[in-house]
Structure 1
Amino acid sequence: MSWRKITFIVVALIVLLGGAAILSKLFISMKPEQTERPNVEMKRSVKVETVNYDEVTSPLWVQGRAVSGSEVLLVAEASGKIEPGAVVLRKGTSFKKGQVLAEIYKDEVELALKARKAQFLTTMTSLLPDIKVDFPDQLNAYETFFRAIDLDKDLPEMPDVKDDKLKVFLASRGVLSEYYGIKQEEKKLKRHTLHAPFNGTFTQVNYEVGAYVNTGGQIAQMIRTDHVEIEIPVPNEDSEWIRINDKVMIQSNQNQAKIAGKVVRKSDFIENETQSRSIFVMVNQAHADQVLPGEYFEVQFPGQKIPDAMEIPRGAIFNSNTVYIVVDGELKKREINVIKRNETTLVFNGLPEGSKVVAEPLINVKENTPVNIMGEENNKPNSGNQAKPQ
């Protein structure tokens, strides 16, 4: 390649690169200069409530379980074979108060008692002539007593013995000891028949008809069905707002029917596992058939009237008793006096009336943060000093 061609190529490259540099500077100079945006401070809007104290009634909803008013064991007071009564001795059988639930074989005991009464009649027959001679004023009373004795019935009441000589006479003939011995046997005989102490049902049966049971054997377990209560475990801090005789409303989890009830007892101890206190509500007797033991119910307690207080959402409280209030557009911390904690709200006092207390949970905020009150926002942004263009 000749020297002339090399020189031409070098000159062309220099011209091309120089032209590109000139055009680049020209385009850069034609670009409009950017101005710095003003600093805008964004304020968050918060929901507030104006502190205004009044009388607050805070009801309490708690779930409880229906329990029988009485749960007892049917225990044998005599030994022998179990014989049928007026109801079937099986789990789930219902019965009425006074019905014979079962009998324990008693024929031998009954015959022995009749034989003893017959012997007592013989003794009284031999005494009447002596009473007629020695105690004529008592003859009529003892003759009436003698005629009232029936082998199939309990002995009648013996005439009062006020005369000391008559008392010695009866004691020497063994009349008094025999009389009270028979009365004792009559009571033992009655223990062979088991009567229902209330309207109820069997929840467990250990011995059925035909089985042999010893004295003290637990034949069955039964509950009362015409007297039902709701046992409600309530946190101890809430139990102080419940009073004996408070009227409550009971609602089934199965339907929307509501039943009236009344608080009848409060336990005087705290359950170890739940740290709760049991409240017992008696169901209105007219609706007792609608409440089955073992079923769960929602119970509404009316609560007590709290004077000079206010209620706000629990989420607005932090550190257990601290809230934010808005003062001159900024958040300020204030402590409150917590009176009662509900599931979603809290009853308090301790702030000056008229204060603007924040009524919602706030995240990532601190004291003195500028805020707007929801509904009173200033739509104009708060601009800072605008930077000078460079």
Structure 2
Amino acid sequence: MRKIILAVIGFVLIAASVLLAIMLIANKNKPKPFKEKIVKTVFTDTVVNGTVQITIPSNGSLVAKRRVELYSEVQGVFKMGTKLFKPGQQFRKGETLIRMDASEYYASVQSSKSNLYNAIAAIMPDLRLDFPDVYSKWQDYLNSFDIKKTAPVLPEMDSDKENYFISGRGIVSNYYNVKNMEQRLSKYTILAPFTGILTDALVTEGSLIRNGQKLGEFIDPSVYEMEVAVSKSYAHLLKIGEQVVLTSLDKTETYKGFVSRVNGSVDPTTQTITAYIEVKDEKLKEGLYLEANLSAKQEKDAIEINRNLLLDTQQIFVVRDSILDVIDVKPVYFSESKVVVKQVPNGTIILKKMVPGAYAGMLVRPFVNKNNDQESAN
């Protein structure tokens, strides 16, 4: 019985070994699975060289081209005028902005005029005797002298004798002293230098104004300037008179301006050059923040592409017979998202959008818009 059991176990082991050998042989001869190549679809564009307008983006806030900071050169009490001295108040050219009480100083000026008149009148008898030829013109001067008006210009001296005589009596020094006081008297009234609007008022009617005190700011709201900083590498592209399009931050308003001035020096800290853009519009206000695109130069025989299409090696991808390749290009201008390049032959098929993991020799399939093909065929 024992021999029968051992014979059965041996038969089973032999059968199992044979089956395992057959399975191993079958798996060895089985062909390897075919790995299908992945062909990526890419967006392409055909190069047509042309003239590319290079624009330099910048931004800044508006400042009135004509603005005046008002300061007092004399001391006095601010008197009430026909218009309130308040921010937003408009004044026409020549209207009184500020008028200070000058009654005390006015009396001093009148006293000096009187002294000048008396000094000339005192020498008239001597002029009649010693200088009869010039007596009449000095008499005419006295007749035209009005103490309520500014002192008239002294008669012209015809000879050295007359000059020595008049100067020796202190007439000339008295005259210039009067003119000096008249000039100072005029500073008690500040007139509007141009038609504009008051943007800042630091004093009120009835307050005491001191010498050197700032009174406010006055601007012309019809013309504004925007100061922009441009990299020194683009300085040679800026041209005075070049048209500039200005837009608001929310892109809802557009204004037209032009480059009015370009600074001749480079800021040593930022290595930028300041350009000034002049703009006129009734909607504009001082301090408004705008964006500007400066039309700097027109680059011929060039194309504009996305910056991510330009490789670090100054090359771009092209498609040749469904295979990616690279060619050398010459970048001439970089903006925030675009780059202008040259030396790309017309008719070259380039990538329109960058392909992740792209490399030279990569198999690709250009994207074809079937809807456009059907429309063109119809």
Q: Same fold (TM over 0.5)?
A: yes
Say yes or no: does 1:106 pair with 2:99: no
Displacement, 1:192?
A: 1.4
Say yes or no: does 1:374 pair with 2:359: no
Residue identity opposite 1:108 in structure 2 = E
Name the counterpart of 1:20: none
Q: Distance in 1 between matches of 2:222 and 2:132?
A: 56
Contact 1:86 1:102 in 2 (8 A): no
SS at match of 2:356: coil
Name the counterpart of 1:307: 300
Q: Distance in 1 between matches of 2:313 and 2:82?
A: 63
Q: Distance in 2 between matches of 1:161 and 1:266?
A: 50
Residues 293-329 of structure 1 show CA distances to partners (whole Å, capped at 9, x for unaligned) of 1112343433421112112222211327331123444
Q: Distance in 1 between matches of 2:68 and 2:213?
A: 13
Contact 1:316 1:362 in 2 (8 A): no
Residue identity opposite 2:305 in structure 1 = I
Name the counterpart of 1:333: 326
Contact 1:203 1:221 in 2 (8 A): yes
Displacement, 1:182?
A: 0.8
Name the counterpart of 2:203: 207
- Give % identity: 22
SS at match of 2:292: strand
Displacement, 1:338?
A: 0.9
Name the counterpart of 1:321: 314
Name the counterpart of 1:27: none
Name the counterpart of 1:43: 39
Residue identity opposite 2:117 in structure 1 = L
Residue identity opposite 1:319 in structure 2 = D
Name the counterpart of 2:376: none
Residue identity opposite 1:138 in structure 2 = V
Q: Distance in 1 between matches of 2:170 and 2:269?
A: 63
Residue identity opposite 1:192 in structure 2 = Y
Q: Distance in 1 between matches of 2:218 and 2:336?
A: 38
Name the counterpart of 1:138: 134
User: Which structure 2 residue ranges, 5 or more long, are not aligned?
Assistant: 1-28, 371-378
Say yes or no: does 1:164 pair with 2:160: yes
Q: CA RMSD in A?
A: 3.7
Aligned length: 368
Name the counterpart of 1:12: none
Q: Which TM-score applies when normalising by structure 2? A: 0.81
Displacement, 1:227?
A: 2.5
Q: Distance in 2 between matches of 1:345 and 1:191?
A: 58
Q: Which moved more, 1:84-93 or 1:110-119?
A: 84-93
Residues 207-241 of structure 1 show CA distances to partners (whole Å, capped at 9, x for unaligned) of 32222232111122333323311233445555543
SS at match of 1:334: strand
Residues 341-383 of structure 1 show CA distances to partners (whole Å, capped at 9, x for unaligned) of 2333221113344433323212112222222333499xxxxxx
